[in-house]
Structure 1
C-alpha cells in the first residue's frame, strides 16, 4: 500500500508545555482517518504540523515523501478548517475560480459544485452572505478546489443538519473510493464510528489507541447480550449469571444485560438452556463508551 503520510517520533513543546509527545504513525492512500481526543489532547497541534503551519520541536513529518512546506505537497493537499474566512464582496463562483487558479490541475467547476453541495444560486451570492451550512459547503469546495490527493477536515459537519451531514459523508466515501486520503477531527463520535477506517485517539499529547473503530471498542468496551424476561422467576438472573463467558449481569433501561467475553458462546448456551427470556440482542458497545472508559482509565492510572 502506498504511504501518503509518515509521522516519526514527533513532539511539539510550547515554553514548558509539551502539546504533542513523540507520536508516530503512517497513513496509506485511500484511508479515512479520524483523529479524536478531548480538548487539549494535541489534535490541532498535530494537524497544524502536518499542514506545515507549525514546526515540530523534534521528529519528522513527510507527506508524499516530502516535508509539509514543499510546494508540490501543498499542491496535493486540501484543508477545511472550522472557520471559513473569505474576501468580502466576492461572489462564491469568483472565490472558487480564484482559488482554483492557484493550482496546476484544479478540479473542474462542474464536479466541484456537484461534490460539495453548492446550489447554482449559491454561486451567484456574495460569500459573506452565506448561511452557516452554505459556508461549510464553501469550505468543502475550497478544500477540493485544487483536486487534492490528501484532505484535512477539522470538525467538518458542525452546524449541518442531519441530511447535510449524511450527504457530506457520502461524498467523503466517494472521494476515498477514488484514492483520496482523508484525515478528520470530530466531536461527534458516532461520525467516527460510522465513517472512519481507522481512529487515532489522542490523550495529553500522546496516541493512546490506534485501530479500526471495532478494534478499539472490542479492546475497551465489554460486549454484552441483553434480554427481556418472559416471566420474572426468582432465580432468572442467577441462571443468566452462570452462563459461560458471562462476567456480569445487571439491569439497564428495562433490560437485563450480560457482559460477556464472547457473545457467540453466551448466545449458544442461552438458546440451549431455553431460559425464560425474549427479545435477545447483542450489544457491541459504542465508541463514546470506549472513549469515556479509556480516558477515565488513563486519569486513574496517573
Structure 2
C-alpha cells in the first residue's frame, strides 16, 4: 500500500519549544486515519505542515508524493482547520460557488449543499449562521475541489449532536469511495467508529499506531461492574486477588483486573446481593489514557503496537 503522507524525522520548533520532536509517521492512501493526542501534542502543527502553512525546522515531509509546497497539491487537498472565518458579507451559496471556481474539476453546487446539509441556508448571509452551521459551510468549502486527500482538524467543533451524527455519516460515505481522510478529534468514540488507522502522538512524537482493535488489545486489563445490596468496603475490594483498581460510578462498583474469571466466581459467592453484573474489555479511551499518561503513572498492561 502506498502512502498519502510521510513524515521522516520531522521537527518543528517555536523558539526553544519543540512542537514536533523527530516525528516519524506514515499515513496510508485510501483510508481514514485519526491523529489522537492530548492538547499540545503536535496534531495541529502536523496538519499545518502538511498544508505548507508552516515549514519544518528539520526532517522531510511528503504529501501525495510531493513536497507540501508543490502547487499541484492545491487541486488535490482539501482542509477544514480549527479556526475558519467565512466571508460574512456573502451568502452561503455565493461562497460555495466562489470556492468551486478555484478548481479545475469541482463538485457540483448541489453536491456541496448535500454534503453540508445547508440547502435551507443557501440564500442566507454567512454572518447569520450559527457556529455549527459555519463548521458545515467550512466543510463544504474543503470539499469544493473534490479532493483526493482531506485534512480535518477537530471537524465537529460547535456542531450539535444531530449535525455530528450526519457529518460522520458523510465521512463514512467518502471513505467508502477510497478517499484519504486524516482527522484530529477529542471525541475518541468518533475516532473509534470511523478510523481504519489511529496514530497516537504526544510531545511531538509518535507513541503508537495501528487499528483501534490492535491498540485496545495491548490493554490486557478488563472491567467487572456490578451493583451490590450489601457492598463491601473499598479496602476489602482493593485487597481481592488480581484487583488493580476500584472505582464507584452512578451506584456501580467497577473492578479493574486481568484475572476476571476467578474474580467473578468470588464475587458471585460473596453474599453481597449482586445485580447488573457486566464484564467489559478496554475501550479506545482506556488505551489512549494509558499511552499518554505520565511515565510514573503508566499502566504496565499496554505496550506500543504498530500495524502496517
Establish whether residue 55 from structure 1 lines up as the match of residue 65 from structure 2. no
Per-residue deviation, 1:287: 3.3
Separation in structure 2 between the aligned mates of residue 25 and residue 82 of structure 1, nearest angstrom: 22
Partner residue, 1:118: 118
Partner residue, 1:201: 200
Q: Equivalences for 1:166-245 in 2 at 5 Å?
A: 166-220=165-219, 222-229=221-228, 241=240
What TM-score does the superposition give when structure 1 sets the normalisation length? 0.84
| Secondary structure, aligned partner of 1:70 | coil
Per-residue deviation, 1:256: 4.2
* Range moving further from structure 2, 20-29 or 78-87: 78-87
Separation in structure 1 between the aligned mates of residue 101 and residue 166 of structure 2, nearest angstrom: 27
Q: Deviations over 1:23-82 (max 9, x none)?
A: 112111232222122222211111111111111111111111111121222211000112
| Residues 134 and 279 (structure 1), Cα distance of their counterparts in 2 relative to 1, 3 Å cut | same
Establish whether residue 298 from structure 1 lines up as the match of residue 307 from structure 2. no
Partner residue, 2:73: 73
Separation in structure 1 between the aligned mates of residue 211 and residue 90 of structure 2, nearest angstrom: 42
Per-residue deviation, 1:266: 5.5
Contact 2:222 2:258 in 1 (8 A): yes
| Residues 94 and 50 (structure 1), Cα distance of their counterparts in 2 relative to 1, 3 Å cut | same
Partner residue, 2:303: none
| Residues 299 and 95 (structure 1), Cα distance of their counterparts in 2 relative to 1, 3 Å cut | farther
Partner residue, 2:302: none
Separation in structure 2 between the aligned mates of residue 47 and residue 298 of structure 1, nearest angstrom: 27
Establish whether residue 18 from structure 1 lines up as the match of residue 15 from structure 2. no
Count of aligned residue pairs for this structure pair:
292
Partner residue, 2:284: 287
Separation in structure 1 between the aligned mates of residue 136 and residue 225 of structure 2, nearest angstrom: 41
Partner residue, 2:306: none
5+ residue gaps, structure 1, are none
Separation in structure 2 between the aligned mates of residue 141 and residue 78 of structure 1, nearest angstrom: 10
Per-residue deviation, 1:88: 3.9
What TM-score does the superposition give when structure 2 sets the normalisation length? 0.83
Partner residue, 1:103: 103
Q: Deviations over 1:96-130 (max 9, x none)?
A: 111111111111112221122112x3111122222
Separation in structure 2 between the aligned mates of residue 290 and residue 233 of structure 1, nearest angstrom: 29
| Residues 87 and 250 (structure 1), Cα distance of their counterparts in 2 relative to 1, 3 Å cut | closer
